Amino acid sequence: MHRLVVILGFLLISLPQLLSQRGPELGAWVGSSQYFGDLNNLYRFDQPGLAGGITGRYNFDSRVAARMQLNYHRLAGDDARSRNAFDLRRNLSFFANVFELATAVEFNFFPLRHGSREDFITPYMYGGYAFFYYQPMTHYLGESVSLRELGTEGQLPGQEYNEVAGAWLIGGGLKVDISSNWSLNLDLGYRLTSTDYLDDVSGYYPDYLELQTNRGDLAVELADRSVQLDGLPAIGRTGSQRGDHRERDAFLNFGVNLVCYFGKLRCPPISYPRE
C-alpha cells in the first residue's frame, strides 16, 4: 500500500511537467533514400537518392507523440553495380519517384521540454504505416520509359501491379531542442513494403511471343536486357528466374528535420509553503 501511494504521488507530481509539452509541431526535412530489392539484393548503399518532405506532429506529452508526413523519395537500382554474376548478366535497372503519406507514433526515451536547459535532447523511436505512389521507369536509348504499362513479366493489359502500395515503417533518431520553439530531428526510417514490383522485377521471364502481341516490341526489349558475360549465354529464357518473388522490396531514408513547436509552454503550478 505504501509503494502504491509513493507511485501515485510521483505521477501526480510529474504529470504537470509531462503535459507541459502538449501541442502541435510543423516542420520540413531533407535527406536521402536508399532502395533494397531484386536490383539491390546485396544491400549496397551506392545509389542514394534525394528525399524530403513535410512533417506534422502532435505531442501528447513530453514523451509520446503522433506524426504524419508527406514525403518524396527518389529510388534507383542497377544490376551493373552488383558483384553478383547473375545480376550482371541480367543487366536490368530502374528508377522511381515515390510520393508517400506516412503515419507513426513516436516515443522519446527522455522527456523533451522546449526551452529547458536540462531536458533539451533525447533519442527516440517510432513505428507506423505508410502509403505510397510509385511508377518504376528505366533509361532506354536516351529516354525515360515507364515500365508498368509494358507488362515486362507477362502481365496482361488491365492486370498490371498496383501503382499504390503500403509499407510497415520503423525508425528512430535524435531530437535536439535549439530554442523554445525550434528543434532539429536527425531521423532514420526503414520501410518494408507490401509490393515486390517497386523495381518492376519479381518473378519470371515472360512468353515473348505473347508479350509482343499484347504489348509490342518495346516491352520485349525491356523485359530481357540480359547480356553474355565471360562466355556464358544470356539468361532471359521464357520461364526462367527474373527476380525473387519471395521477398518484398524495401527502402530507408535519412534526413534532417527542422521543426517548429506551436504549443503553449505551460509551466507547472507553483506551490507556496504554508506558514
| Per-residue pLDDT reduced to its tens digit, 16-53 | 444 457 899 999 999 999 999 999 999 999 999 999 99
% pLDDT > 90, the chain = 79
Q: Which residues pair with 25 in a beta bridge?
A: 57, 261
CATH architecture, range 20-261? Beta Barrel (2.40)
Instruction: Please write down the HEC assignment for all residues of 82-116.
Output: CCCHHHHHHCCEEEEEEEEEEEEEEEECCCCCCCC
Reply yes or no on whether the pLDDT at 227 is more than 50.
yes
In terms of DSSP H, where are the helices of the chain? 2-19, 85-90, 208-215, 217-223
Q: What is the mean pLDDT of the chain?
A: 89
Least confident of 110-119, 231-240, 259-268: 259-268
142 by Cβ neighbours in 10 Å (0-12 / 13-18 / 19+) ranks as: exposed
In angstroms, what is the C-alpha Rg of the chain?
25
pLDDT of residue 4: 46
> What is residue 268's DSSP assignment?
P
pTM (2 d.p.): 0.86
> What are the boundaries of each domain within the chain?
20-261
| Per-residue pLDDT reduced to its tens digit, 50-95 | 999 999 999 999 999 999 999 999 999 999 999 998 999 999 999 9
Give residue 103's pLDDT band: very low, low, confident or very high (50, 70, 90): very high
Torsion angle of alpha carbons 101, 96, 51, 192, nearest 10°?
Answer: 60
CA 57, CA 178: separation in Å to the nearest integer?
17
